[in-house]
Amino acid sequence: MKMNVKPLTKKQLESYLKIVDLTDSKEPHAIKILYERVVSHMRSTHQQSDIKLYRKNPIVTVADNYDNLLIAKDNISRSSTYTHYVNKKHILRTHTSAHLPKILRSLANNDNWNDVLILLPGLAYRRDVSDKKHVGEVHMLEMWRIIKNSARVKMTKNDLLQVVNGVATVAAPGWNLRIEDSPHPYTNEGIEVNAVKDDKDIEILECGLIKEQILLNAGLNPNEYSGWALGMGLDRLVMTIKNIADIRYLRSSNPKIATQMTNLDEYIEVSSQPAIVRDLSYSVPKNYVDEDISADIREAMATDAGSLEEVQILSSTNYDSLPKTVKARLGINKNQKNVLVRITLRHLERTLTNKEVNKIYTDIYPKINKGDGGYI
């Protein structure tokens, strides 16, 4: 299966690299507090391990992000629809574990260790839909522990469950846990852990025992080494803990909102700005999916993208199913389809004026419409 590769422009790449990693922010933030709480727990419970924390350049090789972590060549996540390519061989990491293969190769060349706990915090970059629960740049904390089996018995699922219970209790104190089997490309006996409280149910982490092939790929003999891998997404967990409805609040500059993002206390709703909803009908390539449509709209909005609350695809109609009159009006061709998209705008700090709204819609339409005609 040939993957679609569409590299970022220099301007696009620069804009992504400017996004502040809130786990490493200079100012207090709920994301940073949760991250530090988990790291502090790991340091206190793994004093026997050599703890190494890495903050790496988010541009990584395709091989380390995918191949060396056993993610299949035909996995759809490799496509430019979901991955930001810098060039054919490099991408913006889709998870912080993309740095792990290189770290393991370094460990394979150094025999002076017995037990290492690797902490990999930072932003991961993905192309995603636009709504109140999703954003393309998410905060991750991924952790890998590797031991020499000669130092103790081989790592087992019981070791994994002990870590899971500790991390989950620290991340979501007072919540009940639901643990389910969850296969993963680079682990065996994988599990998913959800925290449950009242009507809230949120995934906290995924983890498993490191597959032998991962170790072999790095030059480590799986008869001599073993370990576990654990990954956490911090954004939605903070949203759930604080009872936040809109993920944009995490980066809001509105003082009434931003002040509440400096702790993990429950969020108190401030006066909400009115939403502006408009439906647009236009033409896009026939292979476009929701993520492509959302990405086009965000990019077209440029500096106004902070006002984008949600993109909903109301309908999608192939060329052959359209009446001749509609085809003519849209200026659509056989390699395209017609989509009806509902775009919801809501500024977090003030009410958008009719003039501003009309300008946004008028400006973005010719940028997102791939046909020769069409109307708003």
More confident residue, 25 or 154: 25
| Count of positions (residues) in the chain | 376
Domain 276-368 has CATH 3.40.50.300: no
Whole-angstrom distance, CA of residue 208 vs CA of residue 191: 6
Third-level CATH fold of 10-242: BirA Bifunctional Protein; domain 2 (3.30.930)
Whole-angstrom distance, CA of residue 30 vs CA of residue 239: 9
Taking residue 345's Cβ as centre, other Cβ atoms within 10 Å add up to 22
Orientation of helix 235-242 relative to helix 30-45, angle to 10°: 110
Q: Start-end ranges of CATH 3.30.70.380 in the chain? A: 276-368
Q: What percent of the chain has pLDDT over 70?
A: 97
pLDDT at 373 over 70: no
HEC per residue, 287-336: CCCHHHHHHHHHHHHHHHHHHEEEEEEEEEEEHHHCCHHHHHHHCCCCCE
Q: Start-end ranges of CATH 3.30.930.10 in the chain? A: 10-242
Angle at 31 between CA 235 and CA 46, to 5 degrees: 105
Whole-angstrom distance, CA of residue 60 vs CA of residue 180: 31
pTM: 0.85
pLDDT of residue 274: 87
Q: What is the mean pLDDT of residues 271-286?
A: 89
Q: What is the pLDDT of residues 227-274, one digit of tens each?
A: 999 999 999 999 999 999 999 999 998 899 999 999 999 999 886 788
Q: What is the pLDDT of residues 101-147, one digit of tens each?
A: 999 999 999 988 999 999 999 999 998 887 888 888 999 999 999 99
The answer to whether 185 and 71 are in contact (CB under 8 A) is: yes
pLDDT of residue 376: 43
Q: What is the mean pLDDT of the chain?
A: 92
